[in-house]
Structure 1
Amino acid sequence: MNFKNKSVLVTGASGFIGSHVVQALLHEGANVRAFVHYNSMNTKGYLDQLTKDEQNGIEMYMGDLKDPHGVMNACKGVDTVLHLGALIAIPYSYVNPTDVVQTNVLGTVNIAQAVRHHGIARLVHTSTSETYGTAQYVPMDETHPLQGQSPYSASKIAADKMIESFYCSYELPAITVRPFNAYGPRQSMRAVIPTIINQALHEDEIRLGNLKATRDFTYVEDTARAFLHAASCPSVGEVINAGSGFEISIGELAEKIKKMVGRDIPITVKQDRLRPEKSEVDRLFSNSDKAQSMMGWKAQVSLDEGLSRTIEWMKQHKSLFRPDEYVV
């Protein structure tokens, strides 16, 4: 798809990945409508960190995914919907599972209904590697079993299946992107990489949870490209992984970041940062061959390069982070 002058709605536009998707679309000449969760302070999340020129190029729509009427209005007149809106924090889902289900499942149904109603040409739905749970085999392709090991992952499995059902039942022109552990500039300390970097830069120790768990980290600009590729892909009704195709343990990652920032400080395990035993996802390692064969996408930024860019950005934006706080 040529995005020049195309009208694209991005839900979750104020979030980490969403804000990078918005930037990528603006760079391609798209007319971007950003669906942002309403708040009385009129803040727009990570979109507030974009340049003024970028912000001026965005049409803002303040609303709530749980409101079907607002979602219907937001989708009116667009060519494509990139649905990234969700409640994503796993620790939060342990405490407030109903909120997570209502936003992630009902919000997705509202989007699917609006896409049907308006006859929108393409919906790109966002899944997560958390839907796979702990790897039963590696590398993990799209046929890997789904496991609801947290309320968050269960809500995303349900959302994915609702999109599948709308494709099968109504020929909804949808494709699902399943990212693996995106990281990069603007990510909050809810995620492990900015947590490690911030503590490595400013604290006397690095406090983490499970050090043995492995993840497949993908630089956020690569992840954002995957959504644009999915919007242009001729196939629909597919689920496509978007990962880098490697794994590294959290402990090894912390050691690597320590060396990169030049500070040899201890790493300690904190009980409050551990997931419940049966909820822990011990291993994620993607097979993203389908992304390359079906839509011409593969990750391009190495872990070392991505970490270097992220460290430098966090050094320049120290005021945005609180290294001593555990963010859920």
Structure 2
Amino acid sequence: MNLAGKKVLVTGAGGFIGSHLTERLVELGAEVTAFVRYNSRNYWGWLEESCYLKDIRVVNGDIRDYDSVRSAAKGAEVIFHLAALIGIPYSYESPIAYLKTNVEGTYNVLQAARELGTEKVIVTSTSEVYGTAQFVPISEAHPINPQSPYAASKSGADFLALSYYRSFDLPVAVIRPFNTYGPRQSARAIIPTVIAQIAAGSRKIRLGSLTPTRDLTFVKDTAEGFIQVAVSEGSVGQVINVGSNFEISIGDLAGLIARIMGAEIEIETEKERQRPAKSEVERLLADTAKAKALINWAPRYTLEEGIKETAEWIREHLAHYKPDIYNI
């Protein structure tokens, strides 16, 4: 599939990954409709600052509302479904919100695509559905073991998407990114949390658990993974990991960020930033063999390169962050 000239819908287009993907699709010549959440300010998230905004058709709606989803999907040949609630800490506060947004929202996309005859749907998963690694590297055959309400809701959405492929022949592919980072990411994530605190002048960095490991991928690489899943004919009916095949502990990651930013730091562990013990995912390390073989994808950015670019962006946009508080 060639995306040039294709009519494409991106849900969650105003968000972190969604905005980067939307811009990349414009660069590739796609006719992009960006689905963003309705609000009284008519605010379009990160797309507000995009140099490509004039080339994007923005539609307001709510992923939980079937009517607005179906209306946005009408005429789309390809749908990238990224709209979701993603903050793990808040999923402990309101699990039902995650079910309504992540599961019911995915149903709305799938059902609309089924009724409208959409050529392809790419559904966004997460490495959190695997839970703590039972073997490494984690391949797509790893057991699904969600340990948070967020991960459970995303697991449900994944299986629902695959059921539409198996039951109704809907051309669905599931992309499963491991931990994505980069410019525009919120302070709920570890890398912006550390960078923003250092950029704000703090040298006592407040974090949660330091021992869990994460597999980190720069957002531009993740966006390219979405593109390759879309254009690959062999991705239909498949789940595909997108990760770096490299792990680093939270503590070591904070130290690396500090060295890159030229700061000497002291880490303070705060209980409120820690997940419940049985909910913490202790280890994530992606097996990306399937992505290489099936969609010819591999990350191009090193962790150091990605952190440098992210740190530069956050320094320039520090006003978007509240580094003195814990963002859930």
Same topology, TM > 0.5: yes
Give the match for residue 273 of structure 2: 273
Q: Which residue of 2 aligns with 1:180?
A: 178
Distance 2:280 2:274 in 1: 8
Determine which of 69, 80, 83 is the counterpart of 2:67. Answer: 69
Question: Which position in structure 1 is the counterpart of 2:210?
Answer: 211
Q: Percent identity?
A: 49
Counterpart CA distance in 2 for 1:249 and 1:272 is 19
Task: Name the CA distance, whole Å, in 2 between partners of 1:6 and 1:167.
Answer: 22
Alignment of 1:274-289 (within 5 A): 274-289=274-289
Indicate if the aligned counterparts of 1:76 and 1:118 stay in contact, CA closer than 8 A: yes
Task: Give matches, 1:304-319, under 5 Å.
Answer: 304-319=304-319
Provide Cα deviations, 1:122-149, integer angstroms capped at 9, x if missing partner: 0000000000000001100000011120
Within 5 Å, which residues of 2 pair with 1:109-188? 109-188=107-186
Letter in 1 for 2:153: S
Code of the aligned partner of 2:112? A
How far off is 1:290 after superposition? 0.3
In structure 2, the partner of 1:55 is 53
Give the equivalent residue in structure 2 for 1:252.
Answer: 252
Structure 1 match to 2:95: 97
The 8 Å contact of residues 203 and 264 in structure 2, kept in 1 or not, is answered as no
CA distance in 2: counterparts of 1:141 and 1:109, whole angstroms: 26
- Please give the per-residue CA displacement for 1:304-323, whole angstroms capped at 9, x wherever unaligned: 00001111111111221121
Pair 1:106-2:104 in alignment: yes
Q: Deviations over 1:86-138 (max 9, x none)?
A: 00001111011101101100110110001111111000000000000000011
Q: Contact (CA 8 Å) 1:37, 1:64: kept in 2 or not?
A: yes
In structure 2, the partner of 1:200 is 198
Residue pair 1:125, 1:175 contacting (<8 A) in 2 also: yes
Letter in 1 for 2:109: I
Q: Hey, what's the Cα distance between the residues in 1 that align with 2:82 and 2:32?
A: 14
Structure 1 runs (4+) deviating above 4 angstroms are none
Which letter does structure 2 place at the counterpart of 1:140?
A: I
CA distance in 1, matches of 2:146, 2:30: 36
Counterpart code for 2:67: H
User: What displacement does 1:204 show?
Assistant: 2.9
Contact 1:200 1:257 in 2 (8 A): no
Q: Summarize deviations over 1:223-263 as a string: whole Å, max 9, x none.
A: 00011111111121000000000000000000011111111
- Displacement, 1:49? 2.1
Read off the aligned partner of 2:217 and give its amino acid letter.
Answer: T
Alignment-derived partner of residue 19 in structure 2:
19
Whether contact under 8 Å (1:201, 1:263) holds in the other structure is no
Matches within 5 A, 1:222-261: 222-235=221-234, 236-261=236-261
Structure 1 gap segments, 5+ residues each: none
- What SS does the aligned partner of 2:233 have? coil
Structure 2 length as normaliser, TM-score? Answer: 0.98
Given that residues 83 and 126 in structure 1 are in contact (C-alpha distance below 8 angstroms), is that contact kept between their aligned partners in structure 2? yes
Alignment match, 1:321? 321
Question: Matched residues in 2 for 1:138 and 1:279: separation?
Answer: 19
Hey, what's the Cα distance between the residues in 2 that align with 1:47 and 1:230? 23
1:145 is matched by which residue type in structure 2?
P
CA distance in 2, matches of 1:104, 1:318: 29
Q: TM-score, normalised by structure 1?
A: 0.98
Equivalents in 1 of 2:187, 2:64: separation in Å? 26
The match for 1:3 is: 3
Structure 2 segments unaligned to the other structure (5+ residues): none
Distance in 1 (alpha carbons) for counterparts of 2:12 and 2:315 = 26
Aligned partner of 1:131: which letter? V
SS at 1:23 equivalent = helix
Aligned to 1:302: 302
